[in-house]
């Protein structure tokens, strides 16, 4: 594996772990706000991001490449309301998509076919991630993030 690609793949492990931390922080906020469904959804999302980090970790190990774990940045802990939180979720998922595309571009330029195949799953996954974040955000905007609409949304997200 090319050194630049290996470095970026290691950085992606860090970004996926940060994503997990971010969603755990959001889960804690929702839990404190008595929105258990939102908290449940964020905890499930945090677990999924941890699984993504492990996919990168295992892939590098399978290739005999060095895994270089880096310090994980502290996520935000101050959140305003569900709409603002999901705006942040969507923005973050768009950032992750950009990172995945960068990795894929490097793999293509280096003719690293195994990594291209590996990354294809993430390319598809990010389409799904952005779609879910957008749907939740748009539903919150339609119904508002207070009152009965919020309670219904909380129940819906708790069913994940």
Handedness of CA 25, 31, 34, 39 (dihedral sign): positive
pLDDT per residue over 84-94, tens digit each?
Answer: 999 999 999 99
Angstrom distance (rounded) from CA 140 to CA 157: 12
77 phi and psi angles, rounded to 5 deg: -125, 0
Asked if residue 102 has pLDDT above 80, the reply is yes
Domain range list for the chain: 3-158
* Rounded Cα distance, 133 and 136, in Å: 5
pLDDT at residue number 62: 97
Does the structural domain 3-158 have CATH classification 1.20.1260.10?
Answer: yes
Work out the pLDDT band at 49, boundaries 50, 70, 90. Answer: very high
């Amino acid at each position: 594996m090319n050194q630049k690609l290996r470095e970026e793949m290691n950085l992606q492990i860090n970004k996926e772990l940060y994503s997990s931390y971010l969603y755990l922080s959001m889960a804690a906020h929702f839990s404190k706000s008595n929105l258990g469904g939102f908290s449940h959804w964020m905890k499930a999302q945090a677990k999924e991001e941890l699984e993504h980090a492990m996919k990168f970790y295992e892939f590098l190990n399978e290739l005999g490449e060095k895994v270089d774990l880096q310090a994980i940045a502290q996520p935000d802990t101050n959140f305003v309301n569900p709409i603002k939180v999901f705006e942040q979720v969507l923005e973050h998922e768009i950032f992750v998509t950009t990172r995945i595309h960068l990795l894929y571009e490097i793999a293509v330029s280096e003719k690293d076919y195994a990594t291209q195949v590996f990354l294809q799953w993430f390319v598809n996954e990010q389409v799904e991630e952005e779609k879910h974040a957008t749907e939740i955000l748009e539903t919150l905007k339609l119904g508002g993030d207070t009152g009965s609409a919020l309670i219904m949304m909380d129940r819906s997200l708790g069913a994940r």
